[in-house]
Amino acid sequence: MPKVNLTATLVRSARCPEGRTKAEYFDTCLTGLVLEVRNTGRKTFFQRYTDARGSQRQYKIGTADAVTLEQARRKGRAVKAEAFLGPDPQVQ
């Protein structure tokens, strides 16, 4: 899917194309930040990163109705830093 400069307006107006189950919008400001838009209208922020073994992982930040774009970017930066500096953010 497209790389775009995610803005609050774009997050509110983003739609899933007709005939598809989901669309992903990749942020140009923060590498790995993704807005996933489902055909049901649900919008969720994810942060993609590479773990210590070189596998690509995806961390669910939250839904766009509960988390603002700026909060998602802050959390995304924290997830990337944790993955780079220490253990996998998803390992409990």
| 3-class DSSP state of 39 | coil
Q: What is the pLDDT of residues 32-41, one digit of tens each?
A: 999 999 999 9
pLDDT on residue 92: 56
| C-alpha R_g of the chain | 13
Is the pLDDT at 44 greater than 80? The verdict is yes
How far is the C-alpha of 7 from the C-alpha of 28, rounded, in Å?
11
Read off the DSSP letter of residue 44: E
Topology, domain 3-85: Double Stranded RNA Binding Domain (3.30.160)
pTM: 0.91
Residues 58 and 50: their CA atoms lie apart, in Å, by: 9
Determine the longest span between alpha carbons in the chain, in angstroms: 41
